[in-house]
Amino acid sequence: MLTSGHIAASYILAQSVKSIGIPLTFNEVFGIIIAGNIIDLDFFIGFITGKTGEAHHHSITHTPIGILVIWLGIWLIFKPPSMLSFLILAALFIHLILDDIGHWTYRAHLFTSRVYPQINWFYPFTKYHHYELIMSNIQVLKHYVFKTTPIFILEVVLVIIAGGLFLVSK
């Protein structure tokens, strides 16, 4: 999933708690959005390490262990209240789910273009797969838009829903 989908999903998560009577401040909503996107900082580090394209998902930040370490760091530095801490952790895990959803929908036969697992859910107990990765960011984008269209459509739907929630909240 692209950054816009991760932002939208995090915003939807933050807004969803309003429906159960939990108001969040602007800073708390912003924090949830940042948390839902922070693990993609490895994308920029990939320009130095060579882990571009799909390969940036093969960093420790894109594993449940990495997510827990990031969440613990956020908790130690900012000491968020329990509900906010839970929402931050949820946003981090939703990021992993969205990154791997292409593989799951391929396995469910929703499209025919093979999509390999992007997330190593059992790291460090299992190794990353050794399938050939798309290393070019442009090629990843083309593959995403033209060959895994249901995932691209999901992203567009998430952005539309988040935009609608934003407009309604104003």
Domain ranges of the chain: 3-169
Task: Read off the pLDDT of residues 125-138 as tens digits, 9 standing for 90 and up.
Answer: 999 888 888 888 89
For residue 158, how many other CB atoms are within 10 A of its CB? 21
Phi, psi angles (nearest 5°) of residue 143: -60, -45
What does pTM read for this prediction?
0.92
- Mean pLDDT, the chain, whole residue set: 92
Residue-level pLDDT at 19: 83
